[in-house]
Structure 1
C-alpha cells in the first residue's frame, strides 16, 4: 500500500515501526525519505536523541545501525545511507519550506497534531514520484485524523487500522488503571477518563484537555445531539464571530427554531484581512 493510516494507542511503538520500515525502503529504492513531526524542534527530542526504554539504545541507532550509514549530520539531523538514500527529520509547522523537495517516502508522526496543510503540499510530489506516505498517531478528538480514517477505511488504495491497548497487550491493564488514578487526581474524573479513552482506547470522542467547552461537546455527542441540522429557510440565520488575528477566525451560524438554538454551519479561516 502506498498510503496507510495507523491509529494506535500511546506507547504502542509507532515511531520505532516506521523507522525500521524506512530503513528497508531506503535500501530497496535510492531516494530521499522524511520523518515529519508536528514541529521541527520536537524532532531532536522525540526521534534524533530519543532512547528506547526497553533496550537503552537510541532509536535511530537501532533502526539505522552504523554499518548502514555513510554519513550522519547531527546539526541538521540527516543520515546518508551506504545505498545512497538520504533520511532526514522535518516539521509540519512550516509547510512552505517543504515544497520543492522530492521525497519518495514520508512518515507523519503524531499526525493528529500536525499541520494538515503539509500533506496538501506534499501529496502531489509523492504522486509524481510514486512514493509512499504513512500517518501514525493517537487520536486528538474529531479532527483531520477522524475524517481521514473514515475515508481510508473504505478506500482500497489505503490501509487503515485502529489498535487499542487491549489489542496489542503492549501496556498492561494494571498500568492503565494506575494512570487513570493519576489523571483523576490532576484533571478530575470526567476528563481523566476521557484522556484514558483517547490515549489507550483510541477514542475520537474524548474531550481535548484545555479545550473550551470540550466536556460539553463530548456530552452533546454522547447524547446524539450532534448531526445534520437542516437550515429552516423561514427563520433568520444569526452568526457569532471569533475574530482571530494570529490564530484562526471562526464563525458559527445558528437559528432559533421552536425554542431551540440550532447550530447549522461553521466557517474557519486564517490570514483574514480586517477592515
Structure 2
C-alpha cells in the first residue's frame, strides 16, 4: 500500500539520507520542525522494506504515551500513530504496551530510555531517540552493539539542552563520514515569519523574565547550546566551577585514601562516586554507573580499582532487608558475601532540599575530573519539575535518569568529612615503690575499670 507523505523542504536532507541507506543521523532542530513526524514517516518506510523490530524512544516511558501514542495532530484531528501507520496494515495494536504488529511481521513500539536495560529483543533494525538531549545517554551505549550486529539504523532528534551528550554527539557526527548531522534553526527553515518569532519571544520573556526568557527562546527556536537549562539546580555552580578551572584533569593521588559514595538503584541506575579529600578540597576522581546489575558486579568494580579505600558510604535504604536477598540488606551482602571493609550507612536525617543546598555549598570546594562526562552531564541536567497548568516550577526535582547522580552528590555533601577518630585520654602509670604499689585497693579498682572501658572502646 502506497502512503502519501508530505515532506517539508527543510526535512528533505535528513529524509533523503535515510532513504539512501544511512545508518546514523542526528538532527538538532527548532520547535515545531516536525522531528517526530519525519521520523515516523521514515520508520514506516523502513518497516515496509525490511520486516523487523523498530522502536521509538522517549526520555521517559510515562512521557512516551502522551507525546507519541495518544498525541493528536491538531491540523487533522487524527492520532499521530494512525497517520503514520495505517490501521489496515496492522495485525495487532496493543494500547497498553504501545505496541503494533504489522501484517508483514514487523513490529513497532514506543519505549522509554529510563529503563534501557529492559530493552532486549533480537532483530532490532531501527530506533528513533526523540528528545535525545533529555534522554539517558547510557541507553545508546547499551543498545548500539545490538544495532551494529543487526546492521540497523539510529536516528537522534532533539532541540538543545546545554552542552551535554547531544552536543558532544553532534560535534562528533559533524566530523564523521559515517554520520548525518544537521542543525536546523528557525532562521534557516523560515517555518515562522518574523512577526511570529517576535510574538513567541515576547511570550517567553513574559513567562521567564527578560534575560532567561530570551535565552530559552534562543535555545528552542535558534538551537543555541549556550542557554541555561530551565530549572537547573546546579547550572550556576557548574558554570562557576568551569570558570575557576575546577573541572579539569583530577588524577588519583596514590598517597591518599579514597572513599566511595553510592546511590543504589534497585530497578534502575546505581551510581558510585570515587572521592579524595585534601584539606578543604573535595576531588571526584572517578565515577561509575550501571543499570540492572547484581550487587556482585559493583563489588567487583570496587575491587578492580587500585585504590586504598578508607570507607564506602551507602544510602540509608541499603540497610533494608529484601525477600529477593533471603531477608538480607545490601549492607549485609557487601560485608558478608563480598568481604568489603569500612562500609557505613548514611543516616536519613535531612530532607532532599537540605541536601541540594548542602551540595551547592560543596561546589565551592569541589574539583571534578573532566573525563567524568556522564556525571557532569547528569548534574547539569538535574532540574526542577515544571507544572504546566500553573506555569511555574514545583519545589521538587524532575524524576529521570539524572536523579541517581544528583543523589550521590547530595550524599557526598553530607559525608565528605570523615568522622574524627575518638580521642583517648592517656592513663598515668601505676606507681610502685620497691615492687609494691602505693595505690589503695579502691584506686586499683578504679584504674582497672577505666582501663577495661578504654580497651572495650577500641
Q: Same fold (TM over 0.5)?
A: yes
Instruction: Confirm whether residue 157 of structure 1 aligns to residue 178 of structure 2.
Output: yes
How far apart are residue 155 of structure 1 and its match? 0.6
Q: Structure 2 CA distance, aligned partners of 1:250 and 1:209?
A: 26
Cα distance change of structure 1 residues 57 and 253 upon mapping to structure 2, 3 Å threshold: farther
Residues 159-179 of structure 1: per-residue CA shift (max 9 Å, x gap)? 011100112222333233222
Q: Structure 2 CA distance, aligned partners of 1:165 and 1:181?
A: 16
Cα distance change of structure 1 residues 178 and 85 upon mapping to structure 2, 3 Å threshold: same
Q: Considering only aligned residues, what root-mean-square deviation do their CA atoms show, in Å? A: 3.4
After TM superposition, the structure 1 stretch with the greater mean CA deviation from structure 2, 119-128 or 170-179, is 170-179
Instruction: Confirm whether residue 182 of structure 1 aligns to residue 203 of structure 2.
Output: yes
After TM superposition, the structure 1 stretch with the greater mean CA deviation from structure 2, 85-94 or 95-104, is 95-104
How far apart are residue 44 of structure 1 and its match? 1.2
Answer whether contact 1:229 1:264 (CA < 8 A) is retained. no
Of 142, 145, 148 in structure 2, the residue corresponding to residue 127 of structure 1 is 148
Residues 125-177 of structure 1: per-residue CA shift (max 9 Å, x gap)? 11110110000101100110011011111111110111001122223332332
Q: Higher helix proportion, which one?
A: 2
Rg larger for: 2
Gaps of 5+ in 2: 1-21, 251-259, 291-297, 299-311, 314-342, 344-458
Of 70, 78, 82 in structure 1, the residue corresponding to residue 91 of structure 2 is 70
Instruction: Confirm whether residue 19 of structure 1 aligns to residue 40 of structure 2.
Output: yes
In the alignment, what sits opposite 1:137? 158
Q: Aligned pair count?
A: 266
How far apart are residue 192 of structure 1 and its match? 0.8
Cα distance change of structure 1 residues 70 and 99 upon mapping to structure 2, 3 Å threshold: closer
Question: Which structure is richer in relative contact order (CA contacts within 8 A, separation 6 or more)?
Answer: 1
Of 96, 101, 109 in structure 1, the residue corresponding to residue 130 of structure 2 is 109
Of 112, 116, 127 in structure 2, the residue corresponding to residue 95 of structure 1 is 116
Instruction: Confirm whether residue 4 of structure 1 aligns to residue 49 of structure 2.
Output: no
In the alignment, what sits opposite 1:205? 226
Cα distance change of structure 1 residues 157 and 210 upon mapping to structure 2, 3 Å threshold: same
Cα distance change of structure 1 residues 122 and 264 upon mapping to structure 2, 3 Å threshold: same
Cα distance change of structure 1 residues 79 and 243 upon mapping to structure 2, 3 Å threshold: closer
In the alignment, what sits opposite 2:101? 80
Indicate the SS of the match to 2:114.
coil
In the alignment, what sits opposite 1:167? 188
Q: Structure 2 CA distance, aligned partners of 1:13 and 1:71?
A: 27
Gaps of 5+ in 1: 232-240, 256-262
Q: Structure 1 CA distance, aligned partners of 2:114 and 2:249?
A: 36
In the alignment, what sits opposite 1:29? 50
Provide TM-score, normalisation by structure 2: 0.51
In the alignment, what sits opposite 1:260? none
How far apart are residue 242 of structure 1 and its match? 9.1
